[in-house]
A = this chain, B = another copy of it.
Amino acid sequence: MRSIWLEKVIDSVADRGRELLGMRGDPAPSDLENLCNALLTQKGEASGTALAREILRHYQQLSTARKLEFFTLLDSRFGPDKDAIFKAANAFRELGSAQAWLSLSETMEPQRLRLFRRLNTAPDGTRALVGMRADLLSLLGQNPSLEAVDADLKRLFTFWFNRGFLELRRIDWRTSATVLEKLITYESVHEIQSWGDLRRRLEADRRCFAFFHPALADDPLIFVEAALVRGMAATIDPLIDEGAPVLNPHDADSVIFYSINNCLTGLRGVSFGNFLIKQVAMELQREFPAVKLFSTLSPMPGFQRALRDRKIFTDWRLQAMVGSGAPAICAAAGTKDLASALMLLLQEPLRHEDVLTAPLTRLGLAYLVCARRKGKPLDPVAHFHLSNGAQLERINPFANRSPRGLRQSAGVMVNFRYIAQDFEANHEAFARHKKIQLGRALQKDGRSVREAWTSRS
C-alpha cells in the first residue's frame, strides 16, 4: 500500500512535470529533455527519486527510434563542454594547483554523467541503466557518434561494478527459480536443454558459481560451470550428459571448468571473468583438498574459420602440419589438393574420424600457438585464458561432437590449465612477450609446430 506521503510527493512531482512539459499526456522522447533538466537542477531529494523513476518509466516505453533520439540528445545537449574543458585544461597546465585540478575535474564531468547518477536513485535504477546501455550498444553500429555516450556509461559501470562490490555465490538446486532460469537463458556455450538438464549440472559433482551485484539481486553478472571428475576431461559429453551417473565429489581429483557466460549485454567490456575462475578454484580447493588439477575444457570458436582462410593456413602450412597424414585425407576425399580435401572432409568430420584425428590435433595446436594478430592469439577463448595466466595443456580432437562444436571448432577442444603458483609468471610472460606457456606434454610438439609455421616465410 502506498502511503499518503508518497502519493503527495509523487503528485507534486507529476504536477511540476506537466507544468514543465505544458501537456497532459505522456512525454514525447524529446520532452524527456525537460524532465532530465528538472532532475539535474534538483538537490537529489525524495522527489528527485520520484522524478528519476518517471524518467526511467517513460524511457522504457519508448520505441527504438525514439530511444535513438533520446541518446542523440544525451550526446548533443548533455555532453561535455569542449571550450570550457579546454580552458580548464589550459589553466591546470599553467597552475598545476589542486584548485585547478578540481575545476578541471568538475568541468570534465558531462551533464549526462550526473544524470545517470541521479537516475540510479530510482528503485531498480541500476538495472534500468544497464538495460539502457544494452539498447545503446545495439544502436552504436549505425550511430558511431553515440560512442561518446557509451564511453561515459561504461566508465560509470567500471566504477560501480568494481570487483570489491561483487559477491561470489554458489548456485545450486536450492537456489531461487528466478536465478536458475537466468542460467537457462544465458548459457550459450553448451545450451541447457531443460530443467532436468539444469538440475544435472547442479548435482553433487558439479558446481556453479556466479558474481552478483547488490543492486541487481537475482541477476547473475557472469557464471561459471565446473565438473568434479577423475582425470583431466578430454570430451565434453560426459560433463553435460543429463543421464551421467553422479560421482562422489570427494573421489574427484580434477576440476574442469566447462562453461563461462556473461549475462548482461549492458555490461559489455566491464570484465570480471578473470577473477571468477581463480576465485572459484580457491573455493573448490578449500572444499576438496584432494583435487590436484584445475583445467578448462574449452572450445576454439574460430578454428574452422581460420582453417578455411588460406592467408592463415597457407597451403604449405597445411602441408607442414598435416605431414604424413595428407595421403589418407586426399584418398578419403578423392582429390589431390590437400586444402580442398581437408575442407571436404571437415563438412562431415565424424565420418572421417580415423583420418582426421592426428591432423586436427596438430592443426589445433598450430592455430592456438601460431595464429595471431598483432601478437594476440586469434582465438578469443584462448586469449582470455592465456592472458589470465593459464597454460595450454592438451588438444583434444573429436571432443565436442555437437553440430555447433563441429561447425566452429571442428570438434576440437582444449584444456587450459590453471596452476596457482604459475599465474603471475605466465601472465607476465604473455602480457609482455606474447609468450604462451605450454604444458610439459605439449612442449616438443609446440616447438615443432612453431618452426613449421614460419619455415617458409
Most B C-beta atoms less than 10 A away, residue of A80, A90, A148:
A148
Judged by a CB distance under 8 angstroms, whether A316 is at the interface is no
A159 to B158, CA, bound (A): 10
Known: A12-B421, A177-B180. A285 touches B148 (CB 8 A): no
Judged by a CB distance under 8 angstroms, whether A388 is at the interface is yes
CB pair A5–B285 under 8 Å, yes or no, is yes
Contact with B along A191-212 (1 / 0, CB 8 A): 0000100010000000000000
Judged by a CB distance under 8 angstroms, whether A104 is at the interface is yes
Judged by a CB distance under 8 angstroms, whether A121 is at the interface is yes
Q: Which B residues are in CB contact (< 8 Å) with A328?
A: none
Judged by a CB distance under 8 angstroms, whether A331 is at the interface is no
CB pair A9–B92 under 8 Å, yes or no, is no
A281 to B45, CA, bound (A): 13
Judged by a CB distance under 8 angstroms, whether A16 is at the interface is yes
Q: Which of B108, B117, B147, B420 contacts A159 (CB 8 A)?
A: B117
A356 to B175, CA, bound (A): 49
CB pair A282–B5 under 8 Å, yes or no, is yes
CB pair A9–B146 under 8 Å, yes or no, is no
CB pair B44–A275 under 8 Å, yes or no, is yes
- Each complex incorporates copies of this chain amounting to 4
Contact with B along A93-115 (1 / 0, CB 8 A): 10011110110110010000000
Q: Which of A161-169, A224-232, A344-352, A404-412 contacts B (4 or more CB under 8 A)?
A: A161-169
Chain B residue at minimum C-beta to C-beta distance from A271 = B44
For window 142-182 of chain A, which residues contact chain B by CB distance below 8 Å?
A: 144-148, 151-152, 155-156, 158-160, 162-165, 173-178, 180
CB pair B286–A144 under 8 Å, yes or no, is no
Known: A45-B389, A389-B45. A420 touches B8 (CB 8 A): yes
Q: Which of B12, B105, B285 contacts A423 (CB 8 A)?
A: B12
Chain B residue at minimum C-beta to C-beta distance from A125 = B164
A178 to B195, CA, bound (A): 12
Least CB distance from A311 to B in Å reads: 29
Chain B residue at minimum C-beta to C-beta distance from A291 = B5
Q: Which B residues are in CB contact (< 8 Å) with A164?
A: 120-122, 125-126, 215
A88-B89, A159-B160 given; 6 more Cβ-contact pairs under 8 Å: A4-B420, A42-B427, A43-B431, A89-B89, A105-B155, A175-B177
25 A-B pairs with CB atoms under 8 Å apart are A1-B286, A4-B285, A4-B289, A5-B285, A6-B282, A6-B286, A8-B420, A9-B278, A11-B421, A12-B420, A12-B421, A13-B424, A45-B388, A46-B278, A82-B96, A86-B93, A98-B144, A102-B147, A105-B155, A117-B158, A120-B165, A125-B164, A156-B159, A165-B214, A177-B195
Could you list which residues of chain A lie within 8 angstroms of chain B, going by C-beta atoms? Answer: 1, 3-6, 8-9, 11-13, 16, 42-47, 49, 79-80, 82-83, 85-86, 88-90, 92-93, 96-99, 101-102, 104-105, 108, 117, 120-122, 125-126, 144-148, 151-152, 155-156, 158-160, 162-165, 173-178, 180, 195, 199, 214-215, 218, 274-275, 278-279, 281-282, 285-286, 289, 387-389, 420-421, 423-425, 427, 431
